[in-house]
Structures are given as structure tokens and as C-alpha cells.
Amino acid sequence: MDLLRTLWTAGHAAYVVGGSLRDTLLGREPVDWDLATDALPEQTLELFPDAVYENRFGTVVVRRRRREYAITTFRTDHDYADFRRPHRVEFGTSLDADLGRRDFTVNAMAWGANPGGGSASGAASGPEPGAEPRTALIDPFGGRVDVAARTLRAVGEPLARFEEDALRMVRAVRLATTLGFSMEPATLAAIRERAPLVAHLSGERIAAELAKILDAERPSVGLRLLADTGLLDHISPELAAQRGVVQNKIEGEDLWDHTLRTVDATPPHPIVRLAALVHDIGKPATQADGHFYGHETVGAEQARKMLERLNEPRAVTERVAHLVRQHMFKYEEGWSDTAVRRFIGKVGRDALDELFALREADNIGSGVAPTADGLDELRARIAAELASGPVLDRYALAIDGNDLIVEFGLNPGPHLGRILDALVERVIEDPALNDAPALLMLARDLVAGDR
Ligand code: ATP
Ligand code: MG
């Protein structure tokens, strides 16, 4: 209201638009607030001296109480090319044109006022000085009715709108999932027909929507929609190939069903959710005689390729690929403490919680108890090992490469690392060996062997 009033007082039309208005009407807390105005970016900047002019699309961002408010000049889009975002936008004075370029009816409403006496707000003339201008809900496409009916409907001709920007199809799935809306039939049919156009989109735009689908209460709703509309074929053919792959886990359910159950069973942690989505991505390619030998190795590679296509940050890609690679571990009561320490070393301390969360979800997705296969016992033994501060890599050894150089007159080089790694192996077997004299004794033999 503060921001709107500032714009109104300066004589500008200003409205709350888009998802923030939609969410408000739904009684949900908006993720971010979008305002639209007939003020040009320079004029908006003058009214909010602390604001930042963000991009060539005419958005000025104001921060208030640690939240960001995007104030965008009314615009119309031009030159859609390659089925992507417009290349050129034009600032306009018309709210109706601005709403008409938006994707779905529930996103194409505005609430606010035009103190200059715009016909849209119904005010015949300007307000008296100091008085609050008359506000109105501007709803040219029936968004209010669709909000009430929980319907997602494209603005205008759906086929044409998805050809302008193919991301709208993925947004449709995402919004239907997070809002719990159904897709209006013509909108749904148009997605089925134009699904191949998502191949033209940049990876990060798809990834941003996928992340929101995965963050939903039941991601499977959106993932199933992606598959059923044919969008998934063009986002991840490897995952699309999971449909119809038989595995004897839950009666009557195929590999894709298992993936979806697994994703739904994860906590809402972005890395774990992504890992759950791709944990069995390698199964279709490794399927033989009802087995999937080595699917975690093949899968880690396929997951990496898929996430690289989506331009995920490198750290995300590596973490997810690592979880896929490790998800098939098989604990047995007979494991020695050395075996537990080796496991910690192989998985890495930082990845343990994520791997356990993935495995519990995988178990649920397989129709067994979450902590089947002795998972609780392994967790307790890992905790005990970690509490005693075990050596898991060369950095925790009581000696380092320098000590080897000084003690044995060695030159720097990769052979130092090989010796240190061999010492780590010995200390994993027997933690008591981790003191300098004992390690140097062991190193003496290794140095002799290396020469
Ligand atoms: P969220 O709640 O996740 O923020 P949102 O609908 O607000 O969802 P934004 O990406 O914040 O999504 O976009 C704000 C508004 O901009 C949308 O409500 C819609 O009116 C418009 N919009 C966004 N992306 C597109 C698009 N690809 N095509 C047309 N209009 C779009
Ligand atoms: Mg938004």
C-alpha cells in the first residue's frame, strides 16, 4: 500500500498484478510482490531513490523490510522468436495490454487505481487532493471465476500463447501443482500438442520451474503431469523411458511409479528431491533379465548429463550425481568398524544425511519400511565413529607431505600423496596408528617400496 500510494500521489496508475494478486485472492502468502504502473522506469526511480533498475524489461526493484517489490512499467511484448521470451518490449500506457500478454487468467488480473481518471478503474475524474483514489479489481479474462473454480486457463488462444513462449507450458504444470488447480481442457490439449517446443528453451528456465514442482507438497502430481503431457520426453527422455519398465517392488507399479513415490517420500530438501527424481535414471539403460546391474554407475553419469543440460550449478550436479552413485549401499550387521569408517570416507561426511534421506524415501517407494536394511543401526554406528573423530582423509593425519620431505629427503610430487593415502588406509583400519612416530615408521616401508 505504501508503494502504491507513493505512485498514486504522483499521479500514476499503479496496481498489484500477477502471482501476488492471485495468491492474495487465494488466501496464500505471496512469494514475491509485483506492481505494474504507467510510470516510466526513470519516473519510478525518482519516486524511490533507493530502488534499483533491474533490466531492460522495465522492472525497478524496491526493497522494504527485507522483501523485494518489483515495479514494472506497463508493457507489451514484441518479437517472440524461437518460441522463447520476447526479444523486445514496448512500454505502454495501457493496463489492458499489459494484462493481455500474461500467461494465465488467474495471473492476468490487477488491483489498484488510476488517479489520472483512467476508465479502467471506473473513476470518472481525478480524486480530490489528498483523498485515496478509488481502487478496483481489473479482471478482463475472468481470472476471478477461475480462481474460485481452481482452474488454470491460458489467456487467449492457448496454442498461439505456447508458441510465443514454450515455458508457459512448464509454468502451467508448475502452477497447477503448487496451487492445486486443474487444467482447463483446451489449455491441457494445447500443451500436449505443443510439448516438443520446450526443446527450444534454455536449461535454467526449465530448471527454475522444475525446482518449484519438486518443492510442492506432492511433487508427483506435477511430475506425472509432465510425463502425461509429453513435456518430460523433451526435458528428460531418460526419465520418460521409466514408464512401463517393470520391476517387482510394488504390485502393479512400474519404475516411473516407484520414482514418483520416492520423490513424494523425501523431505522438502532441493538436493534430496532432485536426487530422488534421478536416483534410478540409469535403470532403463541397464535393464537385463529383470535386473539393473550397475544402474547406479550409469545413472550417476546420466544424471550428471541431464543436470548439465538444465544448467544446474556445478556443485548441485556433483552432489546429486554422487548420491545417485552411492544410493545402492548394502549394510550388514557383520560390518567391522573399519568398514563403517570406509563407508563414511567414501560417502563423505557432508553427504551422509542426504544419502540416508534418499535411501529412506527409496525404501518407502519400494513398499518397505523406511529404515529397512539396518539403516538405523548403521546410522548409530556412524554417529559413534564420527564422535570419536576418525581419520577419513589425509588432512586429518598426524603428519603431512612436509614431514615426509624432511624425514626421508623426498622431493615434492604425486608420490607424496600416494604415501599419505596409503597411511590413511592404515589409520582407517586402526585409528590408534594416527600419531607421528607410528606413521613415520609405516611411511619408511612405503618409501622403500616406492623406490
Ligand atoms: P510465483 O508465485 O512463483 O511467483 P508467479 O505467477 O508470480 O508465480 P512470476 O515468475 O513471479 O510467477 O511472474 C509474475 C507474473 O508475470 C505472472 O503471474 C504472470 O502474470 C507473468 N508471467 C511470468 N512469466 C510469464 C510468461 N512466461 N508468459 C507470460 N506471462 C508471464
Ligand atoms: Mg511471482
Check if 28 has its Cβ closer than 6 Å to any atom of ligand 1. Answer: no
Residue 414 and residue 370 in one domain: no
Question: Tens of pLDDT along 68-108?
Answer: 899 999 988 766 666 666 666 677 778 999 999 999 999 99
Can you give the pLDDT at residue 122? 45
Can you give the pLDDT at residue 119? 47
Å from CA of 104 to ligand 1 middle = 9
Check if 98 has its Cβ closer than 6 Å to any atom of ligand 1. Answer: no
Can you give the pLDDT at residue 424? 93
Q: Cα(60)–Cα(55) distance, rounded to whole angstroms?
A: 8
Q: Whose CA is nearest to atom 30 of ligand 1?
A: 102
Ligand 1 nearest-atom number relative to CA 23: 2
Residue 8 and residue 116 in one domain: yes
Ligand 1 nearest-atom number relative to CA 212: 3
* Stronger pLDDT, 397 or 80, i.e. the higher one: 397
Å from CA of 11 to ligand 2 middle = 26
Residue 22 and residue 120 in one domain: yes
Domain membership of residue 254 (yes or no) is: no
Can you give the pLDDT at residue 257? 97
* Stronger pLDDT, 395 or 298, i.e. the higher one: 298
Å from CA of 383 to ligand 2 middle = 42
Question: Tens of pLDDT along 293-345?
Answer: 999 999 999 999 999 999 999 999 999 999 999 999 999 999 999 999 999 99
**Domain termination site, one of 147, 173, 191:** 147
Residue 133 and residue 37 in one domain: yes
Residue 436 and residue 340 in one domain: no
Confidence bin at 126 (pLDDT 50/70/90): low
Q: Cα(188)–Cα(62) distance, rounded to whole angstroms?
A: 36
Place of cell 545413472: 299
Residue 406 and residue 370 in one domain: no
- Region 202-226: mean pLDDT is 97
**Domain termination site, one of 126, 147, 168:** 147
Residue 19 and residue 47 in one domain: yes
Q: To the nearest whole number, what is the mean pLDDT of the chain?
A: 92
Å from CA of 50 to ligand 2 middle = 22
Q: Given a cut of 50, is residue 289 above it in pLDDT? A: yes
**Domain termination site, one of 147, 170, 195:** 147
Residue 19 and residue 107 in one domain: yes
Q: Given a cut of 60, is residue 265 above it in pLDDT? A: yes
How many angstroms separate the Cα of 44 from the Cα of each of 59, 73, 75, 109? Answer: 10, 9, 15, 21
Place of cell 519404475: 255
Domain membership of residue 153 (yes or no) is: no
Confidence bin at 213 (pLDDT 50/70/90): very high
Residue 342 and residue 409 in one domain: no
Number of folded domains that form the chain: 3
Tell me the whole-structure pTM to 2 decimals.
0.89
Å from CA of 326 to ligand 1 middle = 38
Residue 318 and residue 347 in one domain: yes
Secondary structure, 3-state, 126-139: CCCCCCCCCCEEEC
Å from CA of 58 to ligand 2 middle = 16
Check if 19 has its Cβ closer than 6 Å to any atom of ligand 1. Answer: yes
Ligand 1 nearest-atom number relative to CA 34: 14
Percent of the chain past pLDDT 90, that is, above it, reads 81
Question: Tens of pLDDT along 355-389?
Answer: 999 999 999 999 999 999 999 999 999 999 999 88
User: Which range marks the domain in which residue 415 is found?
Assistant: 394-450
- Which residues, by Cβ under 5 Å, contact ligand 2, an ion? 19, 32
Check if 18 has its Cβ closer than 6 Å to any atom of ligand 1. Answer: yes
Domain membership of residue 321 (yes or no) is: yes
CB-CB contact of 7 with 14 (8 Å): yes
Check if 165 has its Cβ closer than 6 Å to any atom of ligand 1. Answer: yes
CATH code of 57's domain: 3.30.460.10
Residue 130 and residue 24 in one domain: yes
